[in-house]
A = this chain, B = another copy of it.
């Protein structure tokens, strides 16, 4: 791997962060898988519909439903009826879910500090800025 392409270069630190966050959650007593986390991350504070989650995570609604079932069984989320549409239900984060989010946020902040130390503050901000701009042309749900 002398000169890996940008895709691989993006993937390496991504995977590193994901693995560390998931390992930390497991150690702290909040078991989650990567697939569950992908869905979980997209739930917003007012609650999100299944279809929204599926789209945002680039998967099918069936798969999203399957993963939400698991998150629900573990007590991280709950499903409540959507008052605005009787077909829909809102997936909301529970108190326990919020605890898990706090643990994940802590680890993520620690990793970002490590990266900032290694890269320097300027280069880190440039990296973030470049990734935000890249998102404009690569994220269909931005």
Copies of this protein, total: 2
Range for the number of chain A residues in contact with chain B: 35 or more
B126 touches A126 (CB 8 A): yes
Q: Which residues of B contact A11 (CB under 8 A)?
A: 10, 14
- Complex: A8 Cα to B34 Cα, angstroms: 13
A14 touches B18 (CB 8 A): no
Does A98 touch B at the CB level, under 8 Å?
no
Chain A contacts with B in 1-28, Cβ cutoff 8 A: 1, 5-18, 21
B6 touches A138 (CB 8 A): no
In angstroms, how far is the closest chain B Cβ from the Cβ of A84? 21
Binding site for B on A (CB under 8 A): 1, 5-18, 21, 41-42, 44, 56, 58, 108, 111-112, 114-115, 118-119, 123-124, 126-139
Pairs of residues from A and B, 3 with the lowest C-beta to C-beta distance, nearest first: A16-B138, A9-B131, A7-B17
Closest to A14 in B: B10
A128 touches B6 (CB 8 A): yes
